[in-house]
Amino acid sequence: MQDLPPALSLLLMLVMGHWLGDFGLQSDRMAQEKCPGCGHTLSWGWWMAAHGGIHGFLVAWISGVAWLGILEWGVHMLIDIGKCRRLYRMVGDQSLHMSCKLLWVLLAGVTGSITPG
């Protein structure tokens, strides 16, 4: 993606990483067990922390910015808790996650974490 502006390249990579984390790496079991009150083999919080941690790792790895990964970890869990509580459906959930990716790119640009070239 060297022919794209750095911010757009980062955004595309973060979006692709999100799809990997939410659909490729999340098992059906994790999708169910991460929600409070769904009958658990292990406390739902562990499942949620693991799922959020996967997303945090992907954001930190792709962006090269550890603090963005930490933000992603926490915010991803909050968004998913809202979905578990049926505050919104899949479209709302994914829209919030994509909005975060855009915010991470903006924050990385403002703080100088991404530079041209």
How much is the pTM? Answer: 0.92
Report pLDDT digits (tens) over 63-92: 999 999 999 999 999 999 999 999 999 999
Burial 51-72 (b: 16+ CB within 10 A, else e): bbbbbbebbbebbebeebbebb
How is residue 85 written in tokens? 């509580």
pLDDT mean by block of 10 residues, the chain; 117 residues = 87 98 95 85 92 98 96 98 96 98 94 67
Determine the distance from the C-alpha atom of residue 72 to the mean position of all C-alpha atoms in its chain, rounded to a whole number: 5
Q: How many CA atoms lie within 13 A of 60 on its CB side?
A: 14
